[in-house]
């Protein structure tokens, strides 16, 4: 029987022997991986349950709004956001208010999300194609378009008015008559409960708004046209405003001395800039009235535009220029600045002693009782 030489070398690779420390390390990593997989499984089960709860609560809220008369429709609803968010997504949403439905809003997708970790409030965001329809006694207008971002961060509810932060980026809508409206940037924040005030001396609800690149419909063209480079607003609601019934609750708020205090309003459109503060209210016929102290620049160009658009008579515009120039003073930069009150009374808008034009009647209190007009507090 042949024997193999003792020094014969095998050409097959030999498996290296693991040391005890290496074996323990492998077992440790395997245990950690198994534990992490267990935690991931537990988290997934929790997330599915929490997402289902959010979905159920959202659908319950929708049914409550439907019972109150709102039209809320959607084609499909599904969970989303795993692993870092809880959320639901609605497809082909359609919303309109109770009653005759003066407006209707549709969006391709609507998402409600809340972070699992972190302090960001729940966020409602619309994406894709959107449609707005407004109806009145003259007919309906339809606007279609989309926004790069449209989101609303919901703050804890203090009352009937939803509060939070609204962000809009690059919104552009085109109407059924070919005109375009939109806003390049809008950042708004509201807080408070409009129904909480016991007297008209208490501010119940407030809003801060900053917008850039605003393009209005042609029907709402102003003294400087349709385009606003900037709009800043900081205002508060004084007096209790109950959620319903409308419009009787608005008439009650007016009769109890309710007003809107504008702590700051700044507008920039074309050559015209207005910076001021004041008070707005409703008169006995339900028409807006108010008084503001303002600093105005570029009023000459605004008067020219009003005359060109036949909003005011050209002779009135010429006389107003002469009078306002006499009242204006140069500021630190040498620009002519008019420091004058801006008043709205009996639908007539005036700057200083000059009455410019009358505003169209607002019909939101046609079914409410008529009272004697009162002047807003300053």
Digit-by-digit pLDDT tens for the chain (378 residues) are: 555 555 555 555 555 555 667 777 888 888 889 999 999 999 999 999 999 999 999 999 999 999 988 899 999 999 999 999 999 999 999 999 887 768 999 999 999 999 999 888 999 999 999 999 988 777 788 999 999 999 999 987 777 888 999 999 999 999 998 999 999 999 999 999 999 888 888 888 999 999 999 999 887 777 777 899 999 999 999 999 988 787 888 999 999 999 999 999 999 998 899 999 999 999 988 999 999 999 999 989 888 888 887 888 888 889 889 988 888 888 777 778 999 999 999 999 999 888 888 888 887 776 555 454 444 444
User: 189 CB contacts (<8 Å, ≥6 apart)?
Assistant: 164, 165, 166, 207, 208, 209
Sign of the Cα pseudo-torsion (290, 291, 296, 300, in order): positive
- Token pair, residue 358, equals 């009358």
DSSP E strand stretches across 220-330: 227-238, 259-269, 272-282, 288-297, 329-330
d(CA 253, CA 239): 6
Scanning the structure block, which residue is given the tokens 């801060």? 208
- Token pair, residue 18, equals 């693991």
CB 95 within 8 A of CB 133: no
Question: How far apart, in Å, are the Cα atoms of 224 and each of 169, 296, 302?
Answer: 23, 13, 5
Residue of 95, 125, 128 lying closest to 113 (CA atoms): 125
Output DSSP code: residue 239: S
Output DSSP code: residue 185: E
Question: How far apart, in Å, are the Cα atoms of 309 and each of 10, 219, 221, 351?
Answer: 102, 12, 9, 19
126: left (phi over 0), alpha (psi -120 to 50) or beta: beta
Output DSSP code: residue 308: H
Q: Where are the domains of the chain?
A: 30-150
- Please tell me whether residue 34 adopts helix, strand or coil conformation: helix
Bridge partners (DSSP) listed for residue 109: 91, 127
Residue 378 pLDDT? 43
What end-to-end distance do the CA atoms of the chain give, in Å?
122
Bridge partners (DSSP) listed for residue 77: 90
- Token pair, residue 367, equals 């079914």
Scanning the structure block, which residue is given the tokens 């007096």? 239
What is the number of other CB atoms lying within 10 angstroms of the CB of residue 212? 15
d(CA 178, CA 301): 27
What is the number of other CB atoms lying within 10 angstroms of the CB of residue 375? 12
Question: How far apart, in Å, are the Cα atoms of 339 and each of 186, 300, 308, 351, 353?
Answer: 28, 14, 25, 10, 12
Residue 71 pLDDT? 93
Helix (H) or strand (E) holding 52: helix 20-67
What is the number of other CB atoms lying within 10 angstroms of the CB of residue 38? 10
Buried b (16+ CB within 10 A) or exposed e, 76-97: ebebebeeebbbbbbeebebbb
């Amino acid at each position: 029987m042949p024997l193999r030489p003792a020094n014969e070398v095998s050409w097959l690779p030999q498996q290296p022997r693991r040391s005890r420390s290496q074996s323990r390390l492998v077992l440790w990593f395997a245990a950690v991986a198994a534990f992490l997989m267990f935690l991931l499984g537990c988290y997934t089960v929790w997330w599915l349950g929490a997402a289902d709860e959010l979905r159920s609560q959202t659908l319950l809220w929708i049914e409550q709004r439907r019972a109150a008369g709102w039209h809320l429709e959607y084609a499909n609803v599904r969970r989303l956001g795993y692993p870092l968010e809880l959320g639901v997504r609605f497809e082909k949403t359609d919303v309109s208010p109770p009653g005759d439905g003066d407006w209707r809003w549709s969006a391709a997708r609507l998402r409600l999300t809340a972070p699992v970790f972190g302090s960001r409030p729940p966020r409602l965001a619309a994406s894709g194609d959107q449609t707005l329809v407004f109806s009145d006694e003259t007919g309906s207008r339809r606007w279609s378009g989309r926004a790069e971002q449209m989101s609303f961060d919901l703050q804890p509810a203090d009352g009937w008015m939803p509060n939070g932060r609204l962000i809009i980026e690059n919104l552009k809508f085109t109407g059924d008559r070919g005109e375009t409206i939109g806003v390049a940037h809008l950042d708004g924040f509201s807080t408070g409960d409009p129904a909480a005030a016991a007297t008209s001396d208490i501010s119940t609800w407030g809003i801060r708004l900053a917008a850039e690149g605003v393009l209005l419909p042609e029907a709402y063209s102003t003294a400087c046209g349709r385009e606003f480079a900037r709009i800043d607003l900081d205002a508060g609601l004084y007096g209790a405003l109950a959620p319903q019934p409308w419009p009787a609750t608005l008439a009650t708020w007016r009769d109890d001395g309710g007003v809107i205090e504008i702590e700051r309003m700044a507008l920039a459109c074309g050559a015209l800039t207005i910076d001021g503060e004041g008070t707005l209210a409703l008169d006995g016929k339900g028409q807006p009235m108010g008084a503001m102290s303002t600093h105005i620049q570029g009023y000459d160009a605004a008067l020219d535009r009003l005359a060109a658009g036949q909003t005011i008579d050209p002779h009135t515009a010429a006389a107003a220029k002469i009078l306002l120039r006499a009242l204006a003073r140069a500021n630190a930069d040498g620009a002519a600045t008019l420091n004058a009150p801006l008043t709205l009374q009996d639908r007539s808008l005036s700057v200083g002693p000059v009455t410019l034009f009358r505003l169209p009647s607002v019909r939101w209190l046609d079914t409410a009782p008529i009272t004697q007009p009162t002047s807003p507090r300053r």
